[in-house]
């Protein structure tokens, strides 16, 4: 095969390649774009359908459907159709094991067909039906393909979980799909190590609905098998028939679910782990958030992965409690105490009036705060300025925030009570070394005049120098230790607090300030209720209407905490509160009231107690169905249970104990074999024979009841000792239709944050279950594999992707099989046990088409002289790249050293959501341009939009890559059991008729599209948006650089700066090379993109599919927990990098 044709920086296929290609005329683009629906229909007709469709394409935004009414089966098209085309005995795939001393396994289409049918029949006997979800947790062995096809044969939905994923990741996916069946293996090999997969699977199915587990014997390692649940794969299929009738499936039935890696309003306040309080929309990515363990109800610090905003055109749920109101999206999760006194998670749309929400008390230690000393000329009055923030200064700042202002260079405080002003004058002397003067004019005022003090307050506490309705709690106060916060609130209460006959109230015209104080009180363990009202105020004989925001504390427990922890200086207020605490008030608002009728019913169902006893314990007087109790009174329930326990253990008389333990005559008769009359007689005159039987019966019943009492006591003790509040929901409303942006914090683990006083559990970090439909996916997988990889009968195709990813599904399984192609699957690492393993496999089997990731290419390039010169790659005729944009250096190396300048590189763009490649130049047409994905697949319509949603016509101007209707048939049909997430992720940015890819891109003058990276992989340096992919491409052009990763690090001035992690191809790291790399970026992009730091590392953390884990590098840089690293192929790289970075 001759070399590619080069024209400038574009490459075109050779004459021989064009001649062989399925598609070689550019006319296909015009024809397909003219009528995309007709194009897809024509392709569908090449496949077998049991029933033809009624409608080709139906679009009901944001949902769409293809081949509506049609019935087919993807395995019928893989097997029976290919048999008719003469491929029955053709090799379907070759499995290459990692251990070099093991033999490969080769399956013809007919052999594979029989294996699939056997397993399909076995699955049916285990109870698997059409529509059931089967989890597949297998390595790259033949059984993973067999399992997928067996599910497809009978209409079961498979969900493959990448074998390197942790047991926790498996558990999340099994729970989300509600899978009852799992196929796994005993173990497998990775880089020479034996991995015990069954052990991980056993851990992963805990707490799921999985009832049956099939285990493939791959490594013969010792594993635990649970009788009745676990089955050996080989034993299960041994006697099964090798024919199973294919299920006739609707085109829109779910083929499989594959997982990719709640929201509130932007003005919702968040309290971070540092203590800082700010609106979600202003949340800096480097802040921490508060999370807590559901079992212990204790707070701990966690990190934030990312902050997303979505345009939300639907109503939000408003949840009202006596503590306040929060506004959330329908699926936003919250913690709830259910009627069984157990903690569970509910979505906002499931919350009802009467539910009890849980508010854990945040544990924020706070820090010592140092103050800035301003420089002021011409100081007349000498004062001392404190270097540290202490409680006295905090109290003064609190009072000023409530009722203070500046008059020229004087600090002015006002109050009716002169004693209060005297107190603050003393504080001024303590803090500044001198005091002010109290004057009585139109209002009683304390004046302290000092230009230096005024500047000092403005510099350190600018938030209280605004207009009254715009004031906030100073950030220096927010992040301080608790004694500083107490001082601030005490001062603010002296200025703006009152004590009425029933409550303590704090008011302000600033909503934000009041909400911030509410969060600070919560941090101190004090629960307050939020209110707002319209009020009138008189100033200089004029009446003004203003909005007033207030906090109210009215239940005795929280009033007591306020008195003890905050206190105040106003003697009159103090006396009022002391009187308030002495009164046992009826009807006061007690926020923490728990409904315990179900528990009491359970108790009285198990134990029969005399009415006198119940009355003596104060447990009657209520209708049982309405029984509620204050949290503090749960101790009485404990006493009640203790007394029952003692009574059971102390009762010796048989007849009394039978009544106490509620043993019926029927039950005793049944278990002893006596008649009811005999039992009644024996209870009062027991014979020795009867006595033994009844004693045994009573012992069993006693143990059962005591066990339940123990469980009840444990539940109650957990609530009593919980460092949390339990708040009752008053009502829930669905808000009015209002278009707005909402914000979503995605964290690493089971995390929560404080939103307007509520701990709201955040699970948006959970992986998305992408749903693909049978008919559309089959059609797209078939034609994209055929045209993009130009598959012919004599080809040997190798896609290095793991089956656990969408590339593995479409191009290591379904795509090649639908085309009757022969392909390779390989169990291990491409460079194990020697760097040339990948090349050896290619030479061994005569691979003609090789599809891999840019990371793998850079790895091959790293071993350049050791590998490529030993091999000719003479059978190769086509190369492919997938996973991320390939950099220019790697592209040219791949093209020249592996492809020998004769093989085109189809640089493919697609996603789990798109089901197959949608953007690449076709091998028989081209053109191919380094770092450019190429042209859209003929019938697919792409556009690049600006921020306003308008198409960008100018070449090389970056925007958002979107897909227009009619969407490709293999694209996602939804996010499993989460329509809200489906809408907001893909159809909300530019409207529900435009699919948002979340990728940035631009076109060149030829219409070729270049992907600039995820739009969330963009750095904002001094207001300039920089693509990480663009920076990485610039660095890898340096002659000594093998690969690199760019991550953003927070910077006080620029906001964010690029940090480069560089792996060298050769040479030693030194300052000269570092400067050369920096200048390379300056030359390619400009000074604004200059890396702030360059770290030379041996290797970058990567997944088994070759994806660089940039988020791990970022977390390491900013000191966050790394999270789950079990998916890394090279976890040892992390510690090495940590030492270099010094984190």
H, E, C per residue of 409-468: CEEEEECCCHHHHHHHHHHHHHHHCCCCEEEECCCEEEEEECHHHHHHHHHHCHHHCCCH
- Separation between Cα atoms, residue 667 and residue 347, nearest integer Å: 43
Which H or E run contains 539?
Answer: strand 529-539
- Separation between Cα atoms, residue 171 and residue 263, nearest integer Å: 24
CA distances from 560 to 526, 555, 569, 707 (A): 9, 9, 16, 37
The pLDDT tens digits for 425-472 are 999 999 999 999 998 866 789 999 998 999 999 999 999 999 999 999
Residues of the chain with CATH 3.30.300.30: 1017-1143
Topology, domain 1017-1143? GMP Synthetase; Chain A, domain 3 (3.30.300)
- Separation between Cα atoms, residue 1063 and residue 411, nearest integer Å: 59
Q: Out of 3.40.50.300, 3.90.1150.10, 3.10.28.10, 3.40.50.1100, which CATH number does the structure's domain 391-582 have?
A: 3.10.28.10
Residues of the chain with CATH 2.170.16.10: 264-363+732-762
Query: For 5-11, which contacts have Cβ atoms below 8 Å and span 24 or more sequence positions?
Result: 7/927, 9/929, 9/930, 10/926, 10/927, 10/928, 10/929, 10/1006, 11/895, 11/904, 11/926, 11/927, 11/928, 11/929
Range in 666-680, 700-714, 832-846, 926-940 the model is least confident about:
666-680
- Separation between Cα atoms, residue 980 and residue 975, nearest integer Å: 8
CA distances from 996 to 392, 739, 1000, 1059 (A): 54, 18, 10, 29
End-to-end Cα distance, the chain: 52
Report the greatest alpha carbon distance in the chain: 110
- Separation between Cα atoms, residue 1088 and residue 923, nearest integer Å: 38
Interstrand relation of 593-595 and 628-630 (parallel, antiparallel or unpaired) = antiparallel
- Separation between Cα atoms, residue 557 and residue 271, nearest integer Å: 24
Average pLDDT over residues 29-41: 97
Whether the CB-CB separation of 879 and 898 falls below 8 Å is answered with yes
pTM of this structure: 0.61
CATH of domain 264-363+732-762: 2.170.16.10
Please confirm whether the linkage preceding 833 is cis (ω < 30° from 0).
Answer: yes
- Residue 941 exposed, middle or buried by CB count within 10 Å (0-12, 13-18, 19+): middle
CB atoms within 10 A of CB 351: 20
Band the pLDDT of 791: cuts 50, 70, 90.
very high
- Name the more confident of 541 and 998: 998
Helix H segments across 932-1027? 979-986
The contacts of residue 584 (CB under 8 Å, 6+ apart) are none
Per the rule left: phi > 0, alpha: psi between -120 and 50, beta: everything else, 749 is beta
Q: Residue 303 corresponds to which tokens in the numbers above? A: 């990190």
Band the pLDDT of 359: cuts 50, 70, 90.
confident
- Separation between Cα atoms, residue 512 and residue 113, nearest integer Å: 67
- Residue 543 exposed, middle or buried by CB count within 10 Å (0-12, 13-18, 19+): exposed
CA distances from 39 to 28, 43, 914 (A): 10, 6, 18
Q: Residue 725 corresponds to which tokens in the numbers above? A: 């509040």
The pLDDT tens digits for 294-347 are 444 444 444 444 455 554 555 678 898 877 788 887 767 788 888 777 777 777
The pLDDT tens digits for 474-521 are 999 999 999 999 999 999 999 999 998 888 999 999 999 999 999 999
Q: Residue 975 corresponds to which tokens in the numbers above? A: 């996010």
- Separation between Cα atoms, residue 933 and residue 920, nearest integer Å: 5
Q: Residue 56 corresponds to which tokens in the numbers above? A: 């080709």
Half-sphere exposure of 645 (CA within 13 A, CB side): 15
Band the pLDDT of 1023: cuts 50, 70, 90.
very low
Per the rule left: phi > 0, alpha: psi between -120 and 50, beta: everything else, 297 is left
């Amino acid at each position: 095969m001759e070399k590619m044709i080069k024209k400038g920086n574009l490459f075109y296929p050779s004459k021989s390649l064009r001649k062989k290609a399925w598609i070689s005329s550019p006319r296909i683009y015009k024809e397909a774009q003219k009528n995309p629906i007709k194009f897809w229909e024509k392709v569908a007709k090449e496949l077998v359908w049991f029933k033809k469709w009624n409608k080709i394409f139906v679009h009901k935004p944001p949902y769409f459907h293809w081949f509506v009414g049609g019935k087919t089966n993807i395995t019928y098209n893989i097997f029976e159709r290919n048999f008719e085309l003469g491929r029955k005995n053709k090799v379907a795939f070759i499995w290459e094991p990692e251990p070099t001393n093991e033999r490969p396994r080769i399956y013809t289409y007919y052999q594979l067909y029989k294996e699939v049918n056997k397993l399909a029949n076995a699955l049916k006997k285990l109870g698997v039906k059409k529509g059931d979800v089967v989890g597949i947790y297998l390595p790259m062995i033949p059984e993973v393909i067999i399992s997928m096809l067996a599910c497809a044969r009978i209409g079961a939905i498979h969900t493959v979980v990448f074998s390197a994923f942790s047991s926790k990741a498996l558990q999340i996916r099994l729970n989300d799909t509600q899978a009852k069946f799992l196929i796994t293996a005993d173990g497998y090999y990775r880089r020479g190590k034996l991995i015990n997969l069954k052990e991980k699977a056993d851990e992963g199915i805990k707490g799921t609905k999985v009832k049956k587990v099939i285990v493939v014997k791959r490594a013969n390692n010792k594993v635990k098998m649970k009788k009745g649940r676990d089955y050996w794969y080989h034993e299960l299929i041994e006697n099964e028939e090798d024919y199973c009738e294919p299920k006739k499936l609707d085109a829109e039935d779910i083929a499989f679910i594959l997982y990719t890696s709640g929201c509130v309003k932007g003005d919702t306040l968040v309290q971070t782990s540092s203590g800082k309080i700010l609106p979600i929309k202003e949340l800096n990515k480097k802040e921490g958030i508060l999370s807590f363990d559901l079992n212990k109800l204790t707070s701990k610090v966690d990190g934030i992965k990312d902050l997303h905003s979505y345009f939300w055109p639907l109503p939000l749920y408003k949840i009202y409690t006596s503590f306040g109101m929060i506004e959330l999206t329908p699926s936003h999760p919250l913690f709830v105490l259910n009627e069984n006194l157990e903690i569970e998670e509910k979505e906002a749309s499931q919350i009802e009036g009467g539910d009890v929400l849980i508010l854990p008390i945040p544990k924020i230690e706070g820090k010592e705060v140092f103050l800035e000393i301003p420089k002021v000329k011409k100081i007349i009055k000498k004062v001392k300025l404190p270097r540290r923030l202490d409680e006295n200064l905090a109290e003064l700042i609190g009072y000023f925030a409530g009722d203070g202002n500046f008059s020229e260079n004087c600090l002015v405080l006002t109050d009716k009570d002169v004693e209060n002003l005297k107190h603050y004058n003393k504080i001024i002397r303590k803090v500044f070394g001198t005091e002010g003067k109290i004057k009585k004019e139109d209002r009683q005022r304390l004046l302290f005049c000092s230009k230096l003090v005024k500047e000092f307050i403005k510099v350190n506490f600018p938030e209280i120098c605004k207009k009254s309705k715009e004031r906030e709690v100073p950030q220096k106060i927010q992040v301080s230790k608790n004694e500083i916060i107490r001082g601030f609130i005490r001062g603010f209460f002296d200025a703006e607090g009152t004590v009425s006959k029933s409550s303590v109230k704090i008011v302000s015209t600033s909503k934000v300030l009041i909400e911030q104080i509410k969060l600070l009180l919560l941090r101190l363990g004090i629960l307050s209720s939020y209110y707002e009202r319209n009020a009138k105020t008189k100033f200089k004989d004029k009446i003004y209407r203003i909005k007033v925001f207030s906090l109210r504390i009215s239940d005795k427990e929280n009033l007591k905490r306020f008195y003890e922890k905050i206190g105040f200086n106003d003697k009159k207020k103090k006396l009022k509160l002391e009187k308030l605490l002495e009164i046992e008030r009826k009807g006061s608002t007690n926020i923490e009231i728990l409904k315990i009728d179900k528990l009491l019913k359970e108790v009285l169902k198990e134990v029969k107690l005399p009415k006198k006893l119940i009355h003596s314990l104060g447990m009657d007087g209520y209708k049982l169905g309405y029984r509620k109790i204050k949290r503090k009174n749960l101790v009485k329930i404990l006493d009640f249970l203790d007394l029952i326990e003692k009574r059971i253990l102390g009762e010796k008389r048989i007849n009394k104990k039978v009544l106490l333990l509620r043993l019926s005559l029927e039950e005793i008769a049944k278990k002893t074999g006596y008649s009811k009359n005999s039992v009644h007689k024996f209870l009062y005159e027991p014979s020795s024979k009867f006595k033994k039987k009844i004693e045994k019966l009573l012992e069993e019943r006693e143990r059962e009841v005591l066990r339940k009492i123990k469980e009840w006591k444990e539940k109650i003790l957990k609530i009593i000792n919980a460092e949390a509040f339990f708040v009752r929901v008053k009502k829930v409303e669905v808000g009015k239709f209002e278009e707005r942006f909402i914000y979503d914090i995605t964290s690493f683990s089971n995390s929560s944050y404080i939103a307007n006083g509520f701990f709201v559990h955040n699970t948006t970090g959970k992986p998305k279950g992408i749903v693909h439909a049978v008919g559309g996916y089959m059609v797209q997988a078939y034609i994209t594999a055929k045209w993009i990889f130009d598959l012919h009968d004599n080809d040997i195709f190798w896609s290095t992707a793991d089956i656990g990813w969408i590339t593995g599904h479409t191009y290591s399984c379904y795509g090649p099989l639908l085309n009757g192609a022969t392909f390779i699957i390989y169990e291990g690492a491409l460079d194990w046990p020697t760097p040339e393993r990948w090349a050896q496999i290619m030479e061994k089997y005569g691979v003609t088409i090789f599809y891999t990731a840019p990371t793998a290419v850079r790895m091959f390039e790293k071993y350049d002289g050791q590998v490529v010169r030993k091999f000719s790659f003479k059978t190769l005729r086509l190369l492919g790249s997938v996973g991320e944009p390939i950099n220019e250096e790697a592209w040219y190396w791949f093209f020249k050293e592996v492809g020998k300048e004769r093989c085109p590189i189809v640089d493919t763009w697609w996603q789990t959501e798109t089901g197959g490649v949608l953007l690449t130049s076709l091998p028989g047409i081209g053109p191919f341009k380094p770092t450019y994905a190429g042209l859209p697949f003929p019938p697919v319509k792409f556009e690049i939009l600006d921020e306003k949603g308008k198409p960008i016509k100018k070449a090389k101007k970056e925007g958002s890559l979107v897909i227009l209707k009619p969407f490709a048939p293999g694209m996602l049909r939804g996010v499993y059991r989460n329509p809200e997430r489906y809408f907001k992720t893909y159809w909300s940015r530019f409207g529900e008729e435009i699919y948002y890819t979340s990728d940035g891109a631009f076109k060149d003058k030829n219409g070729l599209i270049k992907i600039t990276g995820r739009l969330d992989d963009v750095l904002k340096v001094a207001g300039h948006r920089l693509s990480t992919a663009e920076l990485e491409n610039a660095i890898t052009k340096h002659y000594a650089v093998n690969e690199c990763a760019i991550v953003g690090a927070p910077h006080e001035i620029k906001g964010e700066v690029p940090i480069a992690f560089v792996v060298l191809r050769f040479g030693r790291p030194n300052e000269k090379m570092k400067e050369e790399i920096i200048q390379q970026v300056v030359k390619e992009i400009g000074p604004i993109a200059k890396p702030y730091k360059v770290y030379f590392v041996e290797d970058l953390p990567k997944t088994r599919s070759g994806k660089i884990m940039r988020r791990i590098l970022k977390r390491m840089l900013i000191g966050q927990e790394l999270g789950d690293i079990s998916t890394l192929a090279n976890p040892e790289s992390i510690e090495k990098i940590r030492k270099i970075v010094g984190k």
